[in-house]
Amino acid sequence: MDECGSRIRRRVSVRKRNRPSLGTIFATPTAAELKPSNEEETEEEKAGSRRRKTVGVQPLENNDSEEDMFGDYDSFSENSFLAQVVDLEQKYMQLPENRKHDTDFATEDLCSESIKHNRVSITTVGSFTELKMEEHTKNQSGHEDVSIELGADLLYELPSSQVLYFGNVQNSSNDFGDQSTKERDCSSASLKTVNEELPNNSVEQPQQINASSNVRTSSDVNRRKSLKDHLKSAMTGNAKAQTPMFSRTKQLKETLLSEEINVAKKTIESSSDDLGPFYSLPSKVRDLYVQFKGIEKLYEWQHTCLTLNSVQERKNLIYSLPTSGGKTLVAEILMLQELLCRRKDVLMILPYVAIVQEKISGLSSFGIELGFFVEEYAGSKGKFPPIKRREKKSLYIATIEKGHGLVNSLIETGRISSLGLVVVDELHMIGEGSRGAILEMTLAKLLYTSKTTQIIGMSATLNNVEDLQEFLQAEYYTSQFRPVELKEYLKINDSICEVDSKAENGMTFSRLLNYKYSDTLKKMDPDHLVALVTEVIPNYSCLVFCPTKKNCENVAEMICTFLSKEYMKHKEKEKQEVIKNLKNISSGNLCPVLKRTIPLGVAYHHSGLTSDERKLLEEAYSTGVLCLLTCTSTLAAGVNLPARRVILRAPYVAKEFLKRNQYKQMIGRAGRAGIDSVGESILILQEKDKQQVLDLISRPLENCYSHLVQESTKGIQTLFLSLVGLKIATNLHDIYHFMSGTFFGVQQKILLKEKSLWEITVESLRYLIEKGLLQKDTILTEKGRMQKDALCEFKEEFQYSFHITRLGRASFKGTIDLAYCDILYRDLKKGLEGLVLESLLHLIYLTTPYDMAFQRDPDWMIYFRQFSQLSPAEQNAAALVGVSENYIGKKASGQAIKKKVDKNIVNRLYLSFILYTLLKETNIWNVSEKFNMPRGYVQNLLTAAATFSSCVLHFCEELEEFWVYRALLVELTKKLTYCVKAELIPLMEVTGVLEGRAKQLYNGGYKSLAHLANADPEVLIRTIDHLSRRQAKQIVSSAKMLLHEKAEALQEEVEELLRLPSDFPGIVASPSVKA
């Protein structure tokens, strides 16, 4: 491309006096037409034989009226430029080959044909504007040319209406095949003037056309006036609008990407073995993986997996590899294929909120570059049903619970077919309690309602894959690949033995620990932890898994007691920054244990920390500032924090002996790809546990078993309620048929001993009817009666179909645990009788999670102290729910109580006190000290309350009598979700920005979402303490993504409002008009 290619040319016509006929536009010019008119000769004389003429720039006058904004430009009168446009448009449309074109396109094309000679070139440079005018030989149609040249990446000081109009004109001109336009010489001389808006008289105005117009019909006049008013109004508004930036380079890149996506789409649809530039994706995707993640080449197993016939044929797939094997990358490539090439939405289900937020941050950059949305569905975030995008597609990243709600809403609105792919990480969680039951329900509904949605499941710890294959109707791929070799060791007394499956007892002796221990150290550290960790730190990283949270803190302190002061010198300045930032995010507070351990590069990590603290410590560990974390088993299933050496303090999680799956997850953190050549795991055991440990390391992984029936109110009963509510299955036969296709249905022979699947189905439906959530409906058809004869013992139930009640629909929509739905209804109904709105306490009580009331008993002295400090209105709220100060006083003093009080209500009100205090003070540290509770527990309570508040809101939306709660709960949910001052909420909407980081950003001048979206990551790094380049880029990308989502939602809302209704009376809407 030549140097002129960096300029964007815009062409605009200035209408001359003599209007040509259609014949002169399309016919070859005659000699008479080529001869210039007298007026043109006069103008040429004034121009000095085509010499360049500098136009004087005069101050711009203020215009108070919209009528005056256009100065001396062509008027809007009968004989105006617009009148000529309409006239030409009418004639143009009469041509047979052009009747099919829309009026707007015809007008634009004719306008573009009138563009010729007199070139104005304006280039913005610094604070100056170059203005140059040059007259050329008149062309065959007797018009002047005005060409505007624009610096490719600079702001262009013209009203946006004109800039956009010029772009349309150029495109229309190209469509007409105007080959006569030549590129101007980029080095043309020009005179510089002050950079300001051009005054009205800075360019010679076209002479007014005095020729009388033809007589037109009234309909033509009205039509012209409508067009005239519309254009005048649009130009008036747009002239005041902010001028957009045009980048030739960006346009070319977007065009290239669009072309590559089209090619990739065709490749995927064809049966060819040619996978295109990057596994049927544009080459830009490969470049982005190098840029954002440093991935230049895929592992061999990844290539094999992506090229499997089952993957190419879009069959369901389960694949299993060891931890750190690179499973996620394969899923990401498949998701990008679906989003970009097949133009379908994608759902990715992850087990924990922290992992959802980590994935959102990582993929937002891809979304910005490749043109798709990344939406978070976790906690109280997520819209049901999701916004229906007409152009860009969405990648929904959700927790298990939110993923279930999302699928339900898509089925209900008839949009489930828009979901092209569902990816499930940690598929083995389908066998873990109530969360496993919810995951099973989600997948079963997908299989039953959408035959076009592909399901991909991945896990590092799967054993009974055959059952899962049968359930998901999936192919299976597995590999034992690990990018870094893992060596497993066992430590018994002073001996370290390597795990060896070929050896007789499963292990072979490796070495003796050689570390000089003092008598004091032997008593404090009988397991030689100090010796094991000092072999790798501070130059390499180490994780120590401990059975309990308290043990984590004790081990961290013990290790630091015996580390030499030399460890303090390693990255000393960075460690002081970590301490400083921990204080900042905790309002000046700092855990005394962390204060002692961090200077030595050691910290503990468990759920007792706030999410802000955990995130900061994880960042410090990832960057090598901290070299040792003592942690609980939850870290193994959470965010990815690999280490050179992983030590298991004991073969226990709390008081339960370690499971094979848990063991594999923990040791899987050993070995960092690209950093370590080998990873080591060491399990410390006592002689009494030796045999159990030998069994642990040799036995296969535990099987996955369905919990759908075991978790009745959260499992099978919730499933049946949603099946009827979504009209997936509304009679006993259909419901039973659905159950046969679930994971539980596949395993029923193993799981059911006393009752059959049919009996369990009937019992669950009876429970829902008794609870008032379902009702029996009409009698079935003759076919149904014939089927029920074979099962005469259930004749009564088989005759009926079912429909969902109002309470049932509210419970289903709110995803309320069916064990509590009737209690919630009673509490809300009772609240209407005397809802106390002088404070938030009563409302908070109604949204305090029921299940958390069982987890912890109150400290009665603290309870009484807090109760006595309540205002009269707050005491009234407590009395309304059934708790008196007298009762709390007697419990605090240890007196016997004769009056029976519901313990659950008392406990729940205590949790409400914690939440109420937290909303007033917004300081977790103060609240945790006041109630003598771990700050992590207080924050978990807050998160659970925000989620439950959102559920109660959806519950109330389905019940008309609870209308009063709706507006109240919207605001309360927002308060519980963020629990910060109002000015920080916009910043905390960005994924990964927690309270501490939001305060830093706000104090640094970044006070809104728009500020973050337009921030320079390099400036952010210099402005915000302890912010890595990777984190800065992720914050900016996430903010851009969120801003784009909001803008797109508003734009689509406007288009929806302006669209002609499909059921408009008397009009048969075309497919393009239908919503």
Say if CB 101 and CB 108 are below 8 A apart. no
Give 621's contacts (C-beta < 8 A, 6+ positions apart).
541, 603, 627, 629, 641
Contact 924/610 with Cβ under 8 angstroms? Answer: yes
Give 865's Cβ-side CA count (13 Å radius).
9
Would you say residue 53 has pLDDT above 70? no
> Mean per-residue pLDDT for 662-685?
87
User: For the CA atoms of 926, 931, 937, 942, what is the dihedral angle to 10 degrees?
Assistant: -70
Whether the pLDDT of residue 247 is over 90: the answer is: no
Smallest Cα–Cα separation from 69: which of 205, 238, 227, 214? 238
Look at residue 70 and tell me whether its pLDDT is greater than 50.
Answer: no
φ and ψ at 512, to 5 degrees? -100, 145
pLDDT attached to residue 91: 57
With bands split at pLDDT 50, 70 and 90, how would you rate the model's confidence at 28?
very low
**Cα 110 to chain centroid, rounded:** 45
Task: Give the pLDDT confidence of 118-151 residue by residue, as tens digits.
Answer: 333 333 333 333 333 333 433 444 444 433 344 4
Q: Over the chain, what is the mean pLDDT?
A: 78
d(CA 597, CA 554): 11
pLDDT at residue 248 in the model? 63
pLDDT of residue 381: 87
For 415, the enclosing helix (H) or strand (E) is none
Q: Which SS3 state, helix, strand or coil, does residue 901 take?
A: coil
DSSP run (H or E) holding 524: helix 519-524
Residue 229: predicted pLDDT: 67
Q: What is the pLDDT of residue 671?
A: 85
> What's the pLDDT score for residue 1068?
54
Say if residues 909 and 881 touch (Cβ distance below 8 Å): yes
Confidence of residue 88 (pLDDT cuts 50, 70, 90): low
Region 276-287: mean pLDDT is 86
Q: Is the pLDDT of residue 812 over 80?
A: yes
> Is residue 371 pLDDT above 60, yes or no?
yes
Q: Region 892-897: what's the mean pLDDT?
A: 86
Highest mean pLDDT among 29-43, 374-388, 405-419: 405-419
Query: For residue 265, is pLDDT > 50?
Result: yes
Q: How many CB atoms lie within 10 A of CB 15?
A: 18
Beta-strand ranges (E) seen in 207-344 are 316-320
Quote the pLDDT of residue 73: 41
User: Is the pLDDT assigned to residue 175 strictly greater than 70?
Assistant: no
Cβ-contact 497, 507 below 8 angstroms: yes
Asked whether the whole model's pTM tops 0.75, one would answer no
* Residue type (1 letter), 512: L
CA dihedral of 626, 630, 636, 642, whole degrees rounded to 10: 30
CA distances, 899 to each of 337, 857, 890, 903 (Å): 66, 19, 11, 12
At 1008-1029, the pLDDT tens digits run: 999 999 999 999 998 887 788 8
Q: Above 50 in pLDDT, residue 215?
A: no
Reported confidence tier of residue 326, pLDDT bands at 50, 70, 90: confident
In sequence order, which residues have a C-beta less than 8 Å from that of residue 1054 and are 6 or more positions away?
A: none
Tokens of 735: 């419901």
Return the structure tokens found at 116: 């010729």
* Lowest mean pLDDT segment, chosen from 61-65, 409-413, 656-660: 61-65
pLDDT at 923: 85
pLDDT of res. 494: 87
Tens of pLDDT along 547-580?
A: 999 999 999 999 999 998 899 999 999 999 899 9
CA distances from 565 to 597, 704, 753 (A): 12, 49, 63
Say yes or no to pLDDT of 994 above 90. Answer: no
Q: What is the pLDDT of residue 208?
A: 40
pLDDT in tens, 13-27: 444 444 444 344 444
Range picked from 45-49, 318-322, 582-586 for highest mean pLDDT: 318-322
Q: Which helix (H) or strand (E) holds 861?
A: helix 860-868
pLDDT at residue 16, rounded to an integer: 40
Average pLDDT of span 677-701: 91
Predicted confidence band at 61 (pLDDT cuts at 50, 70, 90)?
A: very low
Query: If pLDDT is split at 50, 70 and 90, which confidence band does 99 have?
Result: very low
Is pLDDT at 288 greater than 90 in this prediction?
A: yes
What is the mean pLDDT of the segment spanning 805-820? 93
Residue scoring higher pLDDT (36 or 405): 405
What would the pLDDT profile of 847-887 be if each residue is shown by its tens digit?
999 999 888 889 999 999 999 999 999 999 999 998 988 89
Q: Once rounded to an integer, what is the mean pLDDT over residues 957-985?
A: 90
What sign does the CA torsion over 795, 798, 799, 800 have?
positive
